[in-house]
Homo-oligomer: A and B are copies of this chain.
Amino acid sequence: MTRIDGRSPADLRPVRIEPGALAYAEGSALIETGDTRVLCAVSVEDGVPRFLRGAGQGWLTAEYAMLPRSTNTRTPRSASAGGRAREIQRLIGRSLRAVVDLRALGERTLTLDCDVLQADGGTRTAAITGAYVALRQALEGMDARGQLSGQPLRSAVAATSVGVVDGDVMLDLCYEEDHRAEVDVNIVMTDAGDFVEVQGTAEGTPFSRDTLDTMLELGWSGIARLLAAQREALSA
C-alpha cells in the first residue's frame, strides 16, 4: 500500500530541526516535518504564577497558535485562538513539564511559544518535538548564567501521531490523511521508552484493543527516529 505522498505506512515525513532560529529568544528552534513548519521560542522570565509563589520552584507553560495563512484556506485569527488551541497548548506544557525538574529552575517561568507557520497535519506533535530542542538551548544558557540548581532535564521527549486511514494503520499523518482518519492517536514518549501522553480518539468508529497495541508500537518506532533527529540537531 502506498500513501498519498508516496510513503509506506511506517514512514515518517522528512524532519528538519534548526536550533537558534530566532535572535532574541533564550532558546528557539524551527522544526519542519514534511510541509508542517513550527517556530518554537523559549522565554525565561523571573517570577512564577501566583499558585507557586514561595514554593521554591519554577514553572513551564506553553502557548500555541497558527498563523492565519498556515492553513490551506485562510483561518481567521480569532478562530485560531479558540478551544482547540488551548487544548493543544495545555498538552505541550504538560509534555515538557513531565521531563523537567521544576525545582532546578529557581523561581523562574519558561514560556514555550509554538507558532505554526505552515500546517500539514501533526502540528502539535511537531511543536512538542521542536520545543524540546528550544528548551535544551534555553537551559544551556541558564546553566551558563549560573541560574540552575542541579540538572533540570530527566529525559528527552518527542511526539508523533498514528492513525487508521481506510482501515490501515499509518505513522505521522499528513493533513489529508488526518482528515480522513477513522482513528487518531497522538503519542508523547521519552527516550526511556515511557509514555508521557497517549491521546487516542475514534472519529466515528470505535477501535479495538489490538488496533491500539499496533498503533502504540508504530508510534514508538517513529518517536525513536525523532529523538535521533533532536540529538543530531543539538550536536550540530
CB 8 Å contact bits of A187-221 with B (1 = contact, 0 = none): 00110111111111111111111001000100000
Q: Is A86 an interface residue (CB 8 A)?
A: yes
A41 closest partner in B (C-beta): B69
Q: Is A18 an interface residue (CB 8 A)?
A: no
B73 near A201: Cβ-Cβ < 8 Å:
no
The stretch of A48-56, A109-117, A143-151, A166-174 that contacts the partner chain: A109-117
B204 near A98: Cβ-Cβ < 8 Å:
yes
A77 near B65: Cβ-Cβ < 8 Å:
yes
Residues of B within 8 A of A22 (CB): 69-70, 117-118
Tallying the copies of this chain within the complex gives 6
A195 near B200: Cβ-Cβ < 8 Å:
yes
B45 near A74: Cβ-Cβ < 8 Å:
yes
- Beyond A41-B68, A71-B24, whether A206 also contacts B202 by CB under 8 A is no
B199 near A198: Cβ-Cβ < 8 Å:
yes
Residues of B within 8 A of A201 (CB): 94, 196-197
In the assembled complex, the CB of A125 is this many whole angstroms from the nearest CB of chain B, namely 15
In the assembled complex, the CB of A109 is this many whole angstroms from the nearest CB of chain B, namely 10
Cross-chain contact of A83 among B45, B68, B90, B115 (Cβ < 8 A) = B90
A/B interface sample: 19 pairs, CB < 8 A: A22-B69, A23-B118, A24-B71, A24-B73, A24-B118, A41-B67, A41-B68, A45-B74, A67-B115, A86-B87, A94-B202, A94-B203, A193-B208, A194-B206, A194-B208, A195-B207, A198-B200, A199-B199, A209-B216
